[in-house]
Amino acid sequence: MRHPVEWQFNDSKRGDLSTLTIATAKEVFELLREDLVAVEQELGRDAASSVSTITEIAEYLREGGGKRIRPSLLLLAAHQLDYTGQGAIRLGAVVEMVHTATLVHDDIIDGAETRRGRPSANTTWGNEKCVLAGDWLYMQAFKVALEERNLRVLDLLIGLTQQMVEGELLQIQKLGKAVSEAEYYDLIFRKTACLFSISMRLGAVLAQATESEEASLAAYGRAVGLAFQIVDDVLDLTATEEVLGKPVASDLREGKATLAVIHSYDHGTAADRKAIQRVLDDRSFEYVGRLQIQEILARNGSVEYAMSAAYRYAEQSRQALVPLADTDFKRALLWVPDFVVAREK
């Protein structure tokens, strides 16, 4: 049985966000606690393979300390529309497995040595085993999703996987280039925001949502996902290695131009552009150091520019919820954008 926390709403008209209080982190945790425990148990069962190496890698990844934000969004979307079945637990595990598979493949492509403060899986097991483990996780996610016997669920997951793979390929094509903001937003939608949006859609599909309800939840997920990735990219440039669990400015060193860097490239001096391009070309900070890049970003107000974009998408996500009924779960959804933009890692 679920035991949602009882909260008092102000006397308000449906959808008026100005009088709807936002949940606290503790309230959100209490609201989802039992469901997330069930998702972890599902992930533990789904990670088991007759091939011990796959089980070991899958377990290592599961225990890596992820935020489980995507399953949480799916659960909140489903419960917002009064769904209470086991399908939300299964699909919560599915979206987490898809996310984990992408991280494994990303680390291999990027040659990453750490992930969340631990050695990356490919550092421990090698690229060959890890690329196959990532493939297995994708297939396992689809196998679990099949239990829903719902073609719409499979259609959404197939479209999602195609978008994410296309995003990764596009990013590889653009490595070392100072991409435009439009190209950057297309990339982060495919690589990150699409999964947030599909997580919300899957919850809506389980609840047999109306077209307008599903559209509202999908728009919310897209905006939250864009804000999440923009903040992630800012933290890569500004946080410490101890907090990040990986080297600072590793995106730029890998040849990836993120929003703050693009802003300085577009609005800085010729010397600024030359310095940024040198790092993108060299894929190292040997001739232009991290501190010099951080000084360029600070002088051009580029971090503030990127964060203002994240705040804008956070507000867009809140506005997308306006048509939906006022519930405990809506209050929790309103908390997520604040968590996303305020986090430190």
Q: Give the pair of three-digit tokens for residue 242.
A: 């101890």
Percent of the chain topping pLDDT 90? 84
Alpha-carbon span 187 to 258, nearest angstrom: 10
126 Ramachandran zone, left/alpha/beta (phi>0; psi -120 to 50):
left
CA distances from 274 to 260, 264, 292, 306 (A): 16, 11, 12, 21
The number of C-alpha atoms within 13 Å of 100 and in the hemisphere containing its C-beta is: 33
Alpha-carbon span 283 to 303, nearest angstrom: 21
Mean pLDDT of the 28-32 span? 95
- CATH architecture, domain defined by 177-324: Orthogonal Bundle (1.10)
Alpha-carbon span 245 to 264, nearest angstrom: 26
Sketch the domain layout of the chain as residue ranges: 22-149, 177-324
Averaged confidence pLDDT in the chain: 92
What's the predicted TM-score (pTM) here? 0.91
Q: What is the pLDDT of residues 88-124, one digit of tens each?
A: 999 999 999 999 999 999 999 988 888 877 899 999 9
Q: Give the pair of three-digit tokens for residue 65.
A: 């300390």
Q: How confident is the model at residue 298 (pLDDT cuts 50, 70, 90)?
A: very high
Instruction: Assess whether the region 22-149 and the region 177-324 belong to the same CATH fold.
Output: yes
Alpha-carbon span 281 to 304, nearest angstrom: 26
CATH code of the region 22-149: 1.10.600.10
Q: What is the pLDDT of residues 31-52, one digit of tens each?
A: 999 999 999 999 999 989 999 9
